[in-house]
Structure 1
Amino acid sequence: MEKVERDIIDGIADVDFGKSKEGFGVIYHKFHTKVENFFLAKGYILLVIGFLLGRALILATLTPFVLPFFAAVYLTRKDKAPLALVGLIGGAATLSLKEAFVSFILAFLFLIAYKLLSKWRRNENTFVPMLVLSTVLLGSLAESYILLDTITMYGAMMALVEASLGYILTLIFMQSLPLLTISKRRQALKTEEIVCLIIMLASVMTGTIGWSIYDLSIEHIMSRYLVLLFAFIAGATIGSTVGVVTGLIFSLASISSFYHMSLLAFSGLLGGLLKEGRKVGVALGLYISTLLIGMYGEGGGVLSVSLMETTVSVFLFMLTPSFLTSRIAKHIPGTTEFSQEQQQYMRKMRDVTAQRVSQFSTVFEALSNSFSAKSTTNDIDDSDRELDYFLSNVTEKTCQTCFRKEACWARNFNTTYDYMKDIMTEMSETDGSISLGLSREWEKHCTRSKKVTDAIHQELTLYQANQKLKKQVQESRKLVADQLLGVSEVMGDFAKEIQRERENHHKQEELILEAIQDFGIHIENVEIYSLEQGNVDIDITIPYNTGFGECEKLIAPMLSDILKETIIVNKEESAGYGQDYSHATFRSAKAFVVETGVAHAAKDGGFISGDSYSTIELGLGKYAVAISDGMGNGERAHLESEETLQLLQKILQSGIEEQVAIKSINSVLSLRTTDEIFATLDLAMIDLQNANAKFLKIGSTPSFIKRGSKVIKIQASNLPMGIVQEFDVDVVSEQLKAGDLLIMMSDGVFEGPKHVENFDLWMKRKIKELKTDSPQEVADLIMEEVIRSRSGLIEDDMTVLVAQINHNIPKWSSIPMRGFHQKAN
């Protein structure tokens, strides 16, 4: 019982602690939001920065920061310029009232000149710095003349130096101020912006020169804290840059701080190198730098003070919240946070794109459903309704004026209706005639039997034409529905493909890079996009291309051994003039390859044949072989068959299923023209991974597969394309094997032999008697046999297309990489 009570109490305590922790997070978030809004949105940070810059000195006498900062604020955030001016004058007043007065006068003169010269303002980014330079130069010369009644060479040189610094600082502040005042920034920082930001922060910190707490210099503490922060966020490169720039600014402000530049630069470099140790590693780098540089300082007392200043800066660094460092890191290229931010953005764009494509897929599917045929119940209702309309038209012309109308349609409605329905049915089936039995019964029932029968025959012609038109519309609707559904499936697959995220293969990339370089081949970079079996995709960058085929002869065989499958060079881009790198793409080799041979001849030995053929290598490891025979001979038949194959190639390459592609082509051919122009199509789709073949034959002759001494016939019955708008495509599947010969031919070859009753047996016998396996030789021999059987005459267009399926044997054997497998294990 005590245990249960203790568990309940502990549970309540955990809940309270969770609530307090959650409440603390909410309070902290609100506090952070208010502080950020106060300083950034309302612009009070400009007041603080202005105060420190107002009392910052260069070379112990110059104050070049005042007017550049005011001008930059006036240009970027004009509404906050009064706050910045108040801060600048307040900071200058801590030096002397004269400095405060001079600062106010320079700002006043700048505003007057800015308004007066507004007509000549073309580009603010160049006009404002030049105006600052002129104002500072004239102001300094005027001040020197008022105080000394003359302008000395030294005074003129110092005025020129201060004006030049003002020009440069204006450019720097214009670059860096938006980084501090805009609360939400998505763009990555450029190198120039980072340097400008560092210069501005260092310049602000020079305003703390002379401040100390318990003999600890504030500027030393803050400058080391700044170096720690950037070394931890961005690494050694940015850390050392921050150290050098900050130290340089401080040495210009005070000569006594010159040695401090070495300390900051070294600590930035060392801290950045030790950033893998997180904050402790970066802090350790600063301590080591302080000790090493301090040994060359001014004695043990100075070293102890420097160590105390380092300790305070490390303490502030440790208190810096992680959200602040990660927020800054998101804008600095090269950091992990920046990469994650970019990946998140790309992932979002990918998801949005996939969603839009998926929505389009849904739209096409909905359109397909709307074009689909109506339900069976609706079809039956429509048929009954149309029959009623048909009989109404007949009775309107015959029964309306008959004296027996009431007897037939009021008392014997069902009998009259059934008789007329039977008459209509028999007439539609027998081309307008009815049986003698039905004719006698109808004459007994109707006094105007001959007139009614003639009216039914007349209306039946219109009825049948209407039904035929309706059927064509329904077939067209179904064809459009199938095409829209095919497009929907393609877009749906594309959306799924987009959502496939590139996997991280950093370890494998490093292992492959190291293994190939240990072998003695220098490569620059390895990028793995996919390691899926049968779908490997690797890009490798090499420094140059010697032209000796290193990628094909060495790198691909090594990758084949590493990945335990055959890898080939898919694409190789040689380094052009002035380029130092070449790029090669390595992909998985297909399990099978297809070698083709073609023999064709035009009727009577002409130049233009009505037959066309095509071999198409599609994506996803598919290979298509097709023959099309246009009706007749000559140029018109050639154009018909050629266009059929071009449409087929484009539709298949888009990813639409074969049956839908053929139906689409048939629709185009049947609706395009009223001329009786038809085309046959003999298509074989071969999967290069498993050698499975699909045969789609539209009005074409049989094909044959020669497997050793065995000959297999492939046949399907479909009308040629363009005759009817709707037909079912018969698909015949056959598993091919290595060494098989697939022989396809047009009707001019299959039906070409003279004095042959059974073309199948003749063609099988000739194929079986072949003594060669070369596709081109097989095609030539079959063509020669057919022409010889007709005594050398070519009475029709003739085409023979032969494809041989073989295992894909790599050109180069794999190179064993034993070291790689040991490291991988």
Structure 2
Amino acid sequence: MLRKTMKFWGEPAWALRAGQIYQSTTDSFKQQCASWFQTVFYQWGLLIAIMGFLLGRAVILTELTPFVLPFLAAVYLLKRDKAAIASFSLLAGAIFSYHGQIGFVIAAIIVYILLQKAVARHVRSPTQALPYIVFSASLLARLSLVFFESGTITGYAWMMAAVESGLSFILTMIFLQSVPFITAKRVQRPLKNEEIICLIILLASVMTGTVGWAWNDVTIEHILARYLLLIFGLVGGAAIGSTVGVVTGLILSLASLANLYQMSLLAFSGLLGGLLKEGKKVGVAAGLLIGTLLIGMYGEGGPGISATIIESFVAISLFFLTPNRIIHNIARYIPGTVEYAAEQQQYLRKIRDVTAGRVEQFSTLFQTLSKSFQMPTQTEEADRDEREVDYFLSNVTEKTCQTCFKKERCWVQNFNKTYDSMNKIMTETAKNGELKDQLLQLEWNKHCIRPDKVVQAILTEHSHYQVNQMLRKQVNESRKLVADQLLGVSQVMGDFAKEIQREKEAHFQQEEELLDLLRGAGLEIGHLEIYSLRPGQVEIELSTSFDNGQGIGEKIIAPMLSSLLNEIVVLQKEEQQFYSNGHSHMAFRSAKQFVVETGVANVAKGGAWVSGDSYSTLELGSGQYAIAISDGMGNGERAHLESTETLKLLQKVLESGIEEMVAIKSVNSVLSLRTTDEIFSTLDLAMIDLQTAKAKFLKIGSIPTFIKRGDKVIKIDASNLPMGMFQDFDVDVVSEQLKAGDVLIMVSDGIYDSPSHVENKDLWMKRMIMELDLAQPQEMADMILERVIRSERGIQIEDDMTVIVAQVKRNTPKWASIPLYQSTPPLKKRA
């Protein structure tokens, strides 16, 4: 009750402080324990000593000890400072063992050290030479010991020595792969399948050193083997579990023939435990118990089954006492596990975050640079204007008042009056080109003894002042343009950083349901991945069997996905026979709400081949559809190159993701600075949002655009100078909400100005558009061009003519949805 009351009213400060102190003390204790553990086991070499002691006791086939030299050689090569610990622990294990091979262990270590010292001077790669050194040392030590004991070497001795040396040769290569995983504080990378097998062989070899340790027929090696089986069965599943069982059982059976049935028990139990790993620890333990009962009754029979069941229960008890944190840490290095996938995902996320962080830094840098180029404030402008007036009058007085004998009376005794009068004269002459105010002239004549000279100096100074003003204006315009461009780049990079940080969302349940539904319809689907189910942003990729070009993805899968997701989904990309098994890769995306169909008709002046008009229609990656017409000044190839270059620049800038206003100003800046020739071009740009059908019209010296909506024609017009004429200009943006069925007509000045006999061009264009009753945009474009040409009664075509007709339509899939699952609610609603 007191705890609930404290939680309701809020814990007092002393309780919070006490909790913080307890948490800090606990964390500090855990860190100290971890530090002590690492110091004792890794830095002092206790782990190597334990492993060496057990491997020194290990024996197979009752007389062979092939584990001693491979372990010593691996430690000597990888951790030379711990070689002495390994040697003494191996000797200690041999002394306290039952096999009586102490003499061989001593001889083998001495021979190995001598050979290692001798060979190390003559080989470049000690790692490659190490197995051969171990083989030679083992063979020499065993044969020498046999010869010393019996005086002769029999064929059997040769065979057993060769077997022992061969096993040592193989174990050396295995231990070189697995010893670092035991002796290192932390494994830096995930393990390969071969490395996992080598690690299991090392652990099984260490467990062989416990042979002979028993209590009432309950043996330690069986308990450890089954404990190891439980750990890897839970971590790696059936494949790893059965592999651990086979390898461990094989090595134990070589150590003692009484353990031969253990290979079957461990292999079968590992398989069952791995298959039941979804049941967590309980499922894996149940698999071991089932395998123990079945194989135990077959191997030991009734009398010995109780001991093997007790061994399994002890192993299960140790397994349940093992912290989950240790199991998760092991699973991080086993391919195919959830923890391994999470570790890989964390690494990829780290790389992604680093990349996104760098991009954001560049975005911030460009934003800061943009701010440094921003226009000065009104207060700063006023201060600057005041300073420039002071500089102006200072230059005038330097040429006139400095040599005047009444300078002190004017500028010391009557400073304010003199300054105000000259300021008024400066303003008057700047406005009218001369001093027309008679009252001001009379007042100035009374105040100054050289009035005409001062006025003339002011008029002369005006020319320099105007040049400075023009230069300052150009600098301000350039600063503003650079600031807008840098800000646009900053925004694009910021959006790109956010796009990088988007993670693949988890849709495991929806993926399984889609797979079941598609396979239930008879489709052979390999795998399916859902990246997004957000409305308008569905992203699904899958693999399916090759359909020989029958279009199953477009005709069947896409309509089914549309029906299941309650959203129009289309096949965006298909790569036939992309995978090694012959399956094709397909990517499905949400369809745009609207589509734009265009038709273009154009003709050059006089029927020539090269037209000064250029046009472009393209769909941008941001879901925008751009339609543009550019008319270069004049006709012919020069005008064609100018208009084409304008559209190419605009297209590249728009595709980069920069806003259309900044894009147009950037293109205009390039055109105005690129050449000193008076070459200008117009631009008529329409940007249509394919999700909302909202359109933006940006007209730079271009002709009005017309929208046909049913029995009504809407005119879109804006007044802006052509591009390339000035470095800075304001762009009027006209927005219009389009509807399905609207027809957009964009024309160049050759179309609009062609009928010379027509006074009201707008009315004439509207009437001609209203009379058109055609379904296809291309037919409408051809008919408009033909009528304009015929309106001049076959007279020579006086200018380049271009007309683009674009029709906005609702996006309807090519293939209707297949109503197979009408009773099934959309997956997105169940997400």
TM score, norm. by length of structure 2: 0.94
Give the structure 1 partner of residue 695 of structure 2.
693
Aligned to 1:647, which of 646, 649, 652?
649
What per-residue deviation string (whole Å, max 9, x for no partner) do you get for residues 407-448 of structure 1?
A: 333343333323322222222223456455544443344332
Aligned to 2:809, which of 806, 809, 813?
806
Give the structure 2 partner of residue 571 of structure 1.
573
Give the structure 1 partner of residue 533 of structure 2.
531
What per-residue deviation string (whole Å, max 9, x for no partner) do you get for residues 608-635 of structure 1?
A: 2222111110123210101111222233
Aligned to 1:153, which of 155, 162, 166?
155
Shift of 1:544: 2.7
Q: 1-side partners of 2:461 and 2:514: how far apart?
A: 82
Give the structure 1 partner of residue 351 of structure 2.
349
Q: Does the residue aligned with 1:58 lie in a helix, a strand or coil?
A: coil
Change (3 A) 1:417 1:117: same
What per-residue deviation string (whole Å, max 9, x for no partner) do you get for residues 126-148 of structure 1?
A: 22122222322333333333334
Shift of 1:6: 12
C-alpha contact 1:390 1:459 (8 A) present in aligned 2: yes
The reply to whether residue 375 of structure 1 matches residue 377 of structure 2 is yes
C-alpha contact 1:423 1:434 (8 A) present in aligned 2: no
Give the structure 1 partner of residue 96 of structure 2.
94
C-alpha contact 2:120 2:126 (8 A) present in aligned 1: no
C-alpha contact 1:560 1:566 (8 A) present in aligned 2: yes
Where structure 1 has 5 or more consecutive residues not aligned to the other structure, the ranges are none
C-alpha contact 2:626 2:686 (8 A) present in aligned 1: yes
Give the structure 1 partner of residue 326 of structure 2.
324
Aligned to 1:117, which of 115, 119, 141?
119
C-alpha contact 1:236 1:273 (8 A) present in aligned 2: yes
**Please, which moves more after superposition, 26-35 or 636-645?**
26-35
Give the structure 1 partner of residue 361 of structure 2.
359
C-alpha contact 2:568 2:591 (8 A) present in aligned 1: yes
Give the structure 2 partner of residue 497 of structure 1.
499
**Please, which moves more after superposition, 70-79 or 315-324?**
315-324
Q: 2-side partners of 1:89 and 1:51: how far apart?
A: 7
* Aligned positions of 1:105-254 closer than 5 A: 105-254=107-256
Shift of 1:714: 0.7
Code of the aligned partner of 2:604: A
Code of the aligned partner of 2:804: L
* Aligned positions of 1:281-320 closer than 5 A: 281-320=283-322
Aligned to 1:735, which of 737, 748, 764?
737
Code of the aligned partner of 1:249: I
C-alpha contact 2:566 2:826 (8 A) present in aligned 1: no
Shift of 1:601: 1.9
Q: Does the residue aligned with 1:208 lie in a helix, a strand or coil?
A: coil
Shift of 1:119: 4.7
Change (3 A) 1:125 1:748: farther
**Please, which moves more after superposition, 246-255 or 438-447?**
438-447
Change (3 A) 1:675 1:130: farther
Q: 2-side partners of 1:97 and 1:336: how far apart?
A: 44
Q: 1-side partners of 2:777 and 2:429: how far apart?
A: 57
Shift of 1:397: 0.9
* Aligned positions of 1:736-815 closer than 5 A: 736-790=738-792, 791-815=794-818
Q: Does the residue aligned with 1:806 lie in a helix, a strand or coil?
A: strand
C-alpha contact 1:274 1:285 (8 A) present in aligned 2: yes
Change (3 A) 1:444 1:568: same
Shift of 1:820: 7.3
Give the structure 2 partner of residue 488 of structure 1.
490
C-alpha contact 1:41 1:182 (8 A) present in aligned 2: no
Shift of 1:14: 10
What per-residue deviation string (whole Å, max 9, x for no partner) do you get for residues 477-521 of structure 1?
A: 111111111222222222333333322111111000000111111
**Please, which moves more after superposition, 464-473 or 317-326?**
317-326
**Please, which moves more after superposition, 725-734 or 400-409?**
400-409
Shift of 1:271: 1.3
C-alpha contact 2:57 2:98 (8 A) present in aligned 1: no
Q: Does the residue aligned with 1:733 lie in a helix, a strand or coil?
A: strand
Shift of 1:706: 1.3
C-alpha contact 1:53 1:207 (8 A) present in aligned 2: yes
Change (3 A) 1:351 1:99: same
Change (3 A) 1:819 1:740: closer
Q: Does the residue aligned with 1:644 lie in a helix, a strand or coil?
A: helix
Q: Does the residue aligned with 1:674 lie in a helix, a strand or coil?
A: coil
TM score, norm. by length of structure 1: 0.95
Give the structure 2 partner of residue 386 of structure 1.
388
C-alpha contact 1:603 1:795 (8 A) present in aligned 2: yes
Q: 1-side partners of 2:142 and 2:666: how far apart?
A: 83
Aligned to 2:821, which of 794, 818, 823?
818
Q: 2-side partners of 1:278 and 1:19: how far apart?
A: 36
The reply to whether residue 260 of structure 1 matches residue 290 of structure 2 is no
Where structure 2 has 5 or more consecutive residues not aligned to the other structure, the ranges are none
Q: 2-side partners of 1:819 and 1:51: how far apart?
A: 70
Code of the aligned partner of 1:175: Q
Q: Does the residue aligned with 2:223 lie in a helix, a strand or coil?
A: helix
Change (3 A) 1:218 1:797: same
Q: Does the residue aligned with 1:60 lie in a helix, a strand or coil?
A: coil
Q: Does the residue aligned with 2:731 lie in a helix, a strand or coil?
A: coil
What per-residue deviation string (whole Å, max 9, x for no partner) do you get for residues 174-216 of structure 1?
A: 1111111111223111111111000000011111111112331
C-alpha contact 2:56 2:94 (8 A) present in aligned 1: yes
C-alpha contact 1:483 1:660 (8 A) present in aligned 2: yes
Q: 1-side partners of 2:412 and 2:318: how far apart?
A: 107
Percent identity over paired residues: 57
C-alpha contact 1:186 1:331 (8 A) present in aligned 2: no
Give the structure 1 partner of residue 555 of structure 2.
553
Change (3 A) 1:32 1:420: closer
Change (3 A) 1:409 1:163: same
Q: 2-side partners of 1:394 and 1:6: how far apart?
A: 86
Q: Does the residue aligned with 1:403 lie in a helix, a strand or coil?
A: coil
Q: 2-side partners of 1:124 and 1:62: how far apart?
A: 26
C-alpha contact 1:515 1:820 (8 A) present in aligned 2: no
Code of the aligned partner of 1:680: T
Q: 1-side partners of 2:358 and 2:821: how far apart?
A: 48
Q: 2-side partners of 1:735 and 1:25: how far apart?
A: 62
Shift of 1:576: 5.1
Q: 1-side partners of 2:3 and 2:504: how far apart?
A: 52
C-alpha contact 2:700 2:721 (8 A) present in aligned 1: yes
Q: 1-side partners of 2:358 and 2:179: how far apart?
A: 39
Change (3 A) 1:151 1:423: same
Change (3 A) 1:777 1:206: same
Q: 2-side partners of 1:347 and 1:787: how far apart?
A: 62
Give the structure 2 partner of residue 667 of structure 1.
669
Q: Does the residue aligned with 1:793 lie in a helix, a strand or coil?
A: coil
Shift of 1:37: 2.8
Change (3 A) 1:614 1:24: closer
Q: Does the residue aligned with 2:739 lie in a helix, a strand or coil?
A: coil
C-alpha contact 1:529 1:537 (8 A) present in aligned 2: yes
Q: 2-side partners of 1:171 and 1:820: how far apart?
A: 62
Give the structure 2 partner of residue 395 of structure 1.
397
**Please, which moves more after superposition, 107-116 or 91-100?**
91-100
Question: Number of aligned pairs?
Answer: 823
Give the structure 1 partner of residue 72 of structure 2.
70
C-alpha contact 1:41 1:181 (8 A) present in aligned 2: no
C-alpha contact 1:630 1:637 (8 A) present in aligned 2: yes
The reply to whether residue 562 of structure 1 matches residue 564 of structure 2 is yes
Shift of 1:299: 3.0
What per-residue deviation string (whole Å, max 9, x for no partner) do you get for residues 379-409 of structure 1?
A: 1111111111111111111122223333333
Q: 1-side partners of 2:99 and 2:182: how far apart?
A: 29
Aligned to 1:514, which of 513, 516, 521?
516
Code of the aligned partner of 1:801: I
